[in-house]
Amino acid sequence: MHTGRVAALPRANVDTDQIIPKQFLKRIERTGFGPSLFFDWRYLADGSPDPAFELNRPDARGASILLAGHNFGCGSSREHAPWALADYGFRAIIAPSFADIFHGNCCQNGLLPVTLSEKAVQQLFHRAESATDGYELTVDLMTTIVRDARGFESAFAIDAYRRDMLLQGLDEIGRTLRHEPEIAAFESARS
Amino acid sequence: MEPRTLFDKVWEAHVVTNRFAGVRDDGGPVLLYVDLHLVHEVTSPQAFEGLRLAGRGVRRPDLTLATVDHNVSTGDRGLPVADQVAALQLATLASNAREAGIELHDLDSPDQGIVHVIGPELGATRPGSVIVCGDSHTSTHGAFGALAVGIGTSEVEHVLATQCIVQSRPRTMEVRFTGTPQAGVGAKDLILALIRRLGTAGGSGYVLEYTGDAIRALSMEGRMTVCNMSIEAGARAGMIAPDETTFEFLASRPRSPRGEAWDRAVEAWRMLASDPDARYDHAVVIDSAALGPQVTWGTNPGMTAEITERVPHPSDAPSDAERQSYHRALEYMDLRPGTPLEGLRVDRVFLGSCTNGRLSDLREAAGVARGRRVASGVRAMVVPGSQRVKAAAEAEGLDRVFLEAGFEWRNPGCSMCLGMNEDILAPGERCASTSNRNFEGRQGRGGRTHLMSPAMAAAAAIEGCLVDVRGVVRGRG
């Protein structure tokens, strides 16, 4: 269960090129991408933060839950996108839909993608907008429920396998290697 | 037996276990065997590092093939790599490949090129196989009747360690292109028209199978262009059943089977086509004869129109959510609703990428450029998809055609498709591009990308503006 401040990014089809532009993909580490998150949107040409960008608003400071429009994370398969979001401090992303590869990449990094209906997400945008000094949500993976302190509550769907993996923090490679005999049998049947 | 689709056949032949991690086969993920794992410098270093930290090795280096493409310079290959961060990434792949025993086509290899160009040209891409790569345009290889999916770096590590991938079964969508396209309308126009129809998320959760007369008539290069952009409709993969065109392309490729083994392979590949009564979860039909050349006007590949159309108004958007996107896109692209697309001035032209960097693409563009000159004030570059493409193009004199017309003729790589190297747009520059993504800043911060076919891009270079290539070719007389 996680409770945290919400940053609202009411844009649809946010692609991974926006989440982490290509000039930052040359690094060979998994960490340190947070300062480059949403780089072209977040900073002006002189390098100072763009006050008009949603994440730079005072009420989004310290946010750990990102609220966004549909098809979030479309485009490039770069896992640098969830690395940057997690490194910035996000623990969950709520949107009406996610791009396939991005969704998988988030789960691999303990960043929870929460799919709610378009209507529920619109309602959350309104609530976030009208909360003057920051808006908080609780995301409970155990009960698969999102709620706020003022009566909003909505269940979200996530497949059982992903949920287990996130809850138990299991190493997927380790899981697969338990099937070593089947993999070996598959290989020998084909050779 | 139930009639099966091409996808069903490939999927079912690769399930290692459908009781993966104790999950029953009720829509949960299965473990799928991977026949070919393509690796490049940008999405692999953290995966190899992960293996090292866990004390794991690479299970099947023989089923893994690596090259460098994303961050490489397209300039003089005789010079050392100037960008030190890129140089480290390249050196990291070289040492990882050496250590694991993986075949690498490095900067000095005659087979270096964009990973999705070299797989097919080496014959590593095979019908009926499962192919993965840490790159979303892996869907390209589906043109051969392979199930080819883009994956993230954690999954790259997983495949290196286990030669398997965890996948939940996608739904299937038949995309049937009927009829015969007009002259000047090709594979790029078919796929852009489809993405316009479906939107950038319309294919989410699906594997698309392209069928119909217009697909059968395409060359393998054209089919790769179509499958390449499946991901731009949000699809997991795109596939085309193999046929004589496929076999002819693969015959005598370096890695293709020979002699009796070839005959047996072709016999098996012929069985892959979807059964006549196979059912898809969804179907779309597009009349290819009714399509004109397509060009994007906005900041995602769904924002497409015919060259004869005008820049749309936000009120034309299919939904409220999209209306906001239209507003932003028009502002970013510096376009006013109602402006004719034809006649928009361009500063740059990019011919290349895994979408349109193959020999037939260069021929198509050269056919338009031959005997003409790039408009003054326009910088146009041609970046072949691979060293083999470059050599073949030079052997038939295409480099001369481009150079005499005022295009730059460069070395292979992803180049300005994503601008990880020095090939980028300056802020505000407008580019006619044969690549696959027109996202904000994709080709350089503040750059404005219009996606189109190689013929359309070449015509834009000559005219200095977006133009209907049908008129340019007719004008030749």
The structure tokens listed for A182 are 């089947």
Which CATH number describes the domain made up of A2-158?
A: 3.20.19.10
Q: What is the DSSP letter of B166?
A: E
Q: Exposed, middle or buried by CB within 10 Å (0-12, 13-18, 19+), for B217?
A: middle
Domain ranges in chain B are 6-284, 293-475
User: Looking at CA atoms only, how far is residue B138 from chain A in angstroms?
Assistant: 10
- For B376, residues 6+ apart whose C-beta sits below 8 A from its C-beta are B464
Element containing residue B87 per DSSP (H, E): helix B84-100
- Amino acid at position A124, single letter: L
Pick the CATH number of B6-284 from 1.20.140.10, 3.40.50.720, 3.30.499.10, 3.30.420.40: 3.30.499.10
Q: Which CATH superfamily includes the segment(s) B293-475?
A: Aconitase, domain 3 (3.30.499.10)
Q: Where are the beta strands (DSSP E) in B288-423?
A: 294-296, 304-306, 348-351, 379-382, 408-409
Q: B356 is written with which tokens?
A: 């349109």
Distance CA B367, CA B334 (A): 31
Query: CB contact, 8 Å: A34 with chain B?
Result: no
The contacts of residue B404 (CB under 8 Å, 6+ apart) are none
Query: Which residues have a Cβ under 8 Å from the Cβ of B379 and sit 6 or more positions away?
Result: B347, B348, B349, B408
Of A41, A93, A103, A46, residue with least CA distance to A65: A93
Q: A18 touching B, CB under 8 A?
A: yes
Candidate from A18, A109, A160 with C-beta closest to B23: A160
| Residue-wise pLDDT tens digits, A119-140 | 999 999 999 999 988 999 999 9
DSSP A66-122: EEE-SSBTBS---THHHHHHHHHT--EEEES-B-HHHHHHHHHTT-EEEE--HHHHH
State yes or no: ipTM above 0.90: yes
Instruction: Give the count of alpha carbons within 13 A of B175, CB side only.
Output: 28
Chain B residues with CB under 8 Å of A104 CB are: 151-152, 155
Mutate to test the interface with B, among A71, A83, A164, A190 (most CBs of B within 10 A): A71
Distance, CA of B67 to CA of B87 (rounded, Å)? 14
- Name the token pair of B330: 């028009």
Q: Which of B54, B85, B440 sits opposite A40 (nearest CB)?
A: B440
Q: Check if A122 contacts B (Cβ < 8 Å).
A: no
Q: How far, in whole angstroms, is CA A65 from its chain's centroid? A: 8
pLDDT per residue as tens, chain B (477 positions): 899 999 999 999 999 998 886 665 566 899 999 999 999 999 999 999 999 999 999 999 999 999 999 999 999 988 888 899 999 999 999 999 999 999 999 999 999 999 999 999 999 999 999 999 999 999 999 999 999 999 999 999 999 999 999 999 999 999 999 999 999 999 999 999 999 999 999 999 999 999 999 999 999 999 999 999 999 999 999 999 999 999 999 998 999 999 999 999 999 999 999 999 999 999 999 999 999 999 999 999 999 999 999 999 999 998 888 899 999 999 999 999 999 999 999 999 999 999 999 999 999 999 999 999 999 999 999 999 999 999 999 999 999 999 999 999 999 999 999 999 999 999 999 999 999 999 999 999 999 999 999 999 999 999 999 999 999 876 553
How many A/B residue pairs have CB atoms within 8 Å? 175
Contacts of B319 by beta carbon, 8 Å cutoff, 6+ apart = none
Contact B21 A30 (CB under 8 A): no
In whole angstroms, give the CA distance from residue B308 to residue B294: 9
